[in-house]
Amino acid sequence: MQKKRLAFIDYWSHQNTKSGDFLREIFSKEFEITDFWWKPNERIPLEEIDEYEYIFFFHVIFPHQILRKLKKKKIMWAPMYDALNFRNFFFKSIFWKQIASLGVKVLKFSNKVTESIGKEDININSLKLNYFIKPNFNQSYNQERKLNIFFWDRGRIKINDWLHLFNKEEINELVYLPRPDPGIKDTTYDDLKSNKDLNIKLMDKKYIPKNEYLKIFEKCNVFIAPRKKEGIGITIVEAISRGMFIIGYNDSTMNEYILNKKVGLLFNKETKEKIALKDIVKHYNFRKSYAEINYDKWSKDKEKIIPLLKEDNKSINSIYFFPLFLIDDLRHLIKRVFKINYYY
């Protein structure tokens, strides 16, 4: 039986990070997938996308004025909490009403996305999910007598934001991978200069093969979540799958994965609490169980994704919101006239 075709529209930087590949794997069971990589200020080939009955947006989505040109399509979107940058409450309210009016189905990987939709009192066909990776534990973990910390510096959180949470004498090595997000200043030199007393293993190669990266990663027992906000937090999920202790800023999705102090520690600028090596080692088996239970749940929940995509569209009557949509249409027109990027 021939597979149906699906257009998978993704943010350009994910070509390197492979963040959406776990969803491609799910869809590939029933669909032949064609990738379209969205990049700021580049034209979207609407005439090509319009040839597909099924369309999936990961992270990004077209504005309402573009989406409504895609007639009679089954569209699904996985929004990322860290990218939902609404200018104000008014336009946030319009946005979710537009999504509902088009019958777009939504995968919610964060409670903050659920809350954002819920405040609008509209019916959006959606599914709440928590992504987990198949566990692959480090068998030598319980023999560790020092902390080996892995920190992927994305430029959002710095070493000195979290270092005070540890007793330095308990740290054996800090594995430091400086990879700032696009548009973020690289402060690697400053961070290293201010922490000369640490044993730092600098991973400064521009490209590190995944097998080499994982070999270093699996020797660590503590992982520092690299951002203050995450849409999912793929690196956090990888760390959980290996039984690592997670340090994360107290916001989504870190506070959705770090549910207690056996799994990790949530911090902000006020946190004074110290983390002890003995407690990290003591609760390793708890973290193993946590990873296994939640991976089993994810394995069942992910089977609901394709049936949801295939469902008939359930759209709300947009006539009640016509004046609001007209205001946004005017904003969209102004952006086009002044050539301001409007695909975000």
pLDDT band, very low/low/confident/very high, at 68 (cuts 50, 70, 90) = confident
b/e code 292-317 from CB counts within 10 Å (16+ = b): bebbeebeeebeebbeebeeeeeebe
Residues 259-276 have a mean pLDDT of 94
How is the chain split into domains, by residue range? 4-125+311-337, 141-297
pLDDT of 344 > 50? The answer is no
Beta-strand relationship, 74-79 and 126-128: unpaired
pLDDT band, very low/low/confident/very high, at 322 (cuts 50, 70, 90) = low
Indicate the CATH number of 4-125+311-337 among 3.30.720, 1.10.10, 2.40.30, 3.40.50. Answer: 3.40.50
Beta strands in the chain (DSSP E): 4-11, 31-38, 54-59, 74-79, 105-108, 126-128, 147-153, 171-178, 200-202, 222-224, 245-249, 264-267
Same fold? 4-125+311-337, 141-297: yes
Share of the chain above pLDDT 90, in %: 57
Residues 293-308 have a mean pLDDT of 98
pLDDT of residue 104: 95
Q: Which one has a higher pLDDT value, 325 or 157?
A: 157
pLDDT of 55 > 50? The answer is yes
Q: Which one has a higher pLDDT value, 321 or 96?
A: 96
pLDDT of residue 316: 62
pLDDT of residue 218: 85
Q: Which one has a higher pLDDT value, 88 or 152?
A: 152
Beta-strand relationship, 31-38 and 54-59: unpaired
Query: Mean pLDDT, the chain, as a whole number?
Result: 88
Gap between the Cα atoms of 150 and 281, Å rounded: 16
pLDDT of residue 338: 65
Q: Which one has a higher pLDDT value, 40 or 300?
A: 300
pLDDT of residue 33: 98
Residues 243-254 have a mean pLDDT of 96
Residues 118-131 have a mean pLDDT of 88
Half-sphere exposure of 67 (CA within 13 A, CB side): 26
CATH topology of domain 141-297: Rossmann fold (3.40.50)
Task: Report helix, strand or coil for 262.
Answer: coil
Copy the structure tokens of residue 274: 């110290």
